[in-house]
Amino acid sequence: MISVFELFKIGIGPSSSHTVGPMVAANRFLADLGDQVTQVDEITIELYGSLSSTGKGHATDTAILLGLLGHEPRSIDTTATDAYLQPIYQEQKLTLGGRHEVFFDGDQHLLWDDQPLPQHPNGMRLTAKLSDGSMLSRTYFSIGGGFIKDSDELESNKNHDEKQAFVYDFNSAEQLSELCQKHGLSIAELMLENEKSLRSESEIKDYLNEVWDTMQACVTQGCKVDGILPGGLNVKRRAKALYEQLSKEYGYSGNGSLLAMDWVNLYALAVNEENAAGGKVVTAPTNGAAGIIPAVLHYYRGFIPSFNYQGVSEFLLVAGAVGALIKQNASISGAEVGCQGEVGSACAMAAAGLAHVLGGSVAQCLNAAEIGLEHNLGLTCDPIAGLVQVPCIERNAMASVKAINAARLALRGDGSHHVSLDKAIATMKATGMDMMDKYKETAKGGLAVHVTDAASNRIQISNIGSGFSQC
């Protein structure tokens, strides 16, 4: 089973697999170098498959460089990335871990290869040439949601940091349901007991509060900023104008009583515009789908009278259970299974969380998750110009509303359903395997090639100081 601490990572935009994961990989490479970092004469970065095809739009190159500088996704000051990158791009100086300076020329030391490595579509290789002539090389794979594995871990299907056994371990929704029934626990209660096997209850509470605070801050910031999103597509930010409109209409119900939907759209747009601009977000479970859970949580806060902060924590725990099931049994990576693995997973997670805080049973929560996932099956990942903007931003808004509807529909039933969550997850995996690679985060199919102003699937490096930090 996967901890909610891993599923909900606080990081930076625009992509968990293409930005957060590569930065984490660079951090691990620094750790592997250890004291040898002062002996490095040259660093080479090789990007393969989807990391190459959409790497510019997803800021993969600059994420790795920032990681090699020693910055981490959770703590980096996203307002200062231009300053961090300036010595690299303007002076060709890369200071590894803040300790040792090496010459770095992007044309010479940063290599792009759209052909994927055989193990996974998101591959990267970091190589250090040491002063004694020896080489240290590591190959990493970004498997979605900010998770990375090296070649051995991918082969063995093990994570870098092995966790102790959970109290109530489960590998399927059926097992989860049986455990809840046997022990008289809700999904949230069971997940809390599992998390307590890893850390104290106060640590769990504090982190979930931090996740919620980060989500709220992201919405707030997204509602303050207008202008054009960076990257070259000239996509206009809409959240601020929409917020100003809706603020004037607050409490008005003459619009078919659907004003809440407009607010949910706003919440999702605000988060994903911040993500597209390289702001601080929570991978939930990925950056490409980062707006859905915050939007549904804000709906819970703003439109459900029974809202309370305990409910937020329980929402995240239930959502985490569903996300863990999907990641364990299928994928949350757009490069592996398309956007059904990102937006579809987030929709299912949010639907289950909302159903729980609205009083749903275990069966109703799992039914809500199944509805949310089932009706995103086959969704392609086709970002125009490799940017997490079109169709990604609006897609989050649509899935947020869908998650709310899935929860409401499930709560009108008794939890029984013809298609189980386990079968929906298995179907999503199979569908992803059948999907052509051009529809899996390569910007080589779908909207990415059928929109007239999408001239290239690779965005050129922006000038430092232009307002696009690429992270």
**Shared domain check, 245 and 273:** yes
Statement: residue 433 has pLDDT above 70: yes
User: 């591959």: which residue's tokens?
Assistant: 123
Q: d(Cα 377, Cα 372) in Å, to the nearest integer?
A: 9
Structure token digits, residue 79: 């307002």
Is residue 5 one of the residues assigned to a domain? no
pLDDT at residue 258, rounded to an integer = 81
Task: Establish if 255 belongs to a structural domain.
Answer: yes
The domain that holds 264 is classified in CATH as 1.10.4100
Average pLDDT over residues 298-321: 97
SS3 53: helix
Q: Are residues 144 and 178 in the same domain?
A: no
Taking residues 216-228, report their average pLDDT.
Answer: 97
- The answer, yes or no, to whether residue 297 has pLDDT greater than 70, is yes
Q: Could you read off the pLDDT of 67-111 as tens digits, one per residue?
A: 999 999 999 998 898 899 999 999 999 999 999 999 999 999 999
Domain final residue pick, 126, 156, 186: 156
Q: What are phi and psi of 100, to 5 degrees?
A: -140, 125
Instruction: Please check whether residues 152 and 204 belong to one and the same domain.
Output: no
Give dist(CA 230, CA 155) in Å, integer: 38
**Residue-level pLDDT at 56:** 85
Structure tokens at 329: 């049994």
**Cis amide bond preceding 391, omega within 30:** yes
Q: How high is the pLDDT of residue 249?
A: 80
| CATH code of the domain in which 145 resides | 3.30.1330.90
Examine the pLDDT at 456 and tell me if it is beyond 50. Answer: no
User: Which residue range is the domain that position 433 belongs to?
Assistant: 173-450
Q: Is residue 93 part of a domain?
A: yes
CA terminus-to-terminus distance, the chain: 30
Mark whether 133 and 180 lie in a shared domain. no
DSSP type of residue 385: G
Do the domain assignments include residue 354? yes
65 and 186, same domain (yes or no)? no
Q: Average of pLDDT values for 296-319?
A: 97
In the predicted structure, residue 412 carries a pLDDT above the cut 80:
yes
Structure tokens at 404: 């709310």
Q: Is residue 3 part of a domain?
A: no
Task: Specify burial of residue 57 (Cβ count, 10 A radius: 0-12, 13-18, 19+).
Answer: buried
Output 153-158 pairs: Cβ under 8 A, ≥24 positions apart.
154/119, 154/120, 155/119
> Over 70: is that where the pLDDT of 180 sits?
yes
Q: In terms of domains, do 134 and 252 share one?
A: no
DSSP state, residue 307: -
Q: Do 340 and 441 belong to one domain?
A: yes
Name the pLDDT band for 257 (thresholds 50, 70, 90): low
pLDDT tens profile 109-163 = 999 999 999 999 999 999 999 999 999 999 999 999 999 999 889 887 665 544 5
Token output for 76: 């980096």
* pLDDT score, position 159: 56
Mean pLDDT of 305-334: 97
- Residue 17: DSSP 8-state: I
pLDDT of residue 251: 59
Each residue's pLDDT tens digit, 382-407? 999 889 999 999 999 999 999 999 99
Q: Please tell me the least confidently modeled range out of 68-72, 76-80, 168-172, 241-245.
A: 76-80
Asked if the model's pLDDT at residue 356 lies above 50, the reply is yes
**What's the pLDDT at 173?**
98
Check residue 465 and give its pLDDT: 30
Examine the pLDDT at 459 and tell me if it is beyond 90. Answer: no
Per-residue pLDDT at 166 exceeds 50: yes
- Looking at the fold, whether 150 and 265 belong to one and the same domain comes out as no
- 378 shares a domain with 444: yes
Asked whether residue 403 is assigned to any structural domain, the reply reads yes
| Confidence (pLDDT) at 451 | 82
Last residue of a domain, one of 99, 123, 156: 156
What pLDDT is attached to residue 78? 84
Quote the number of domains for the chain.
2
Note whether residue 292 is domain-resident. Answer: yes
Whether residue 217 is predicted with pLDDT greater than 70 in this model: the reply is: yes
Predicted confidence at residue 6, as pLDDT, reads 92
User: What does pLDDT average to over the chain?
Assistant: 92
* pLDDT class of 462 with cuts at 50, 70, 90: very low
455 within some domain? no
Give just the sign of the alpha carbon dihedral 196, 201, 204, 205: positive
In the chain, % of residues over pLDDT 70: 92
Q: Are residues 371 and 239 in the same domain?
A: yes
**DSSP state letter for 20:** I
Is residue 222 domain-shared with residue 126, that is, in the same domain? no
**203 and 289 share a domain?**
yes
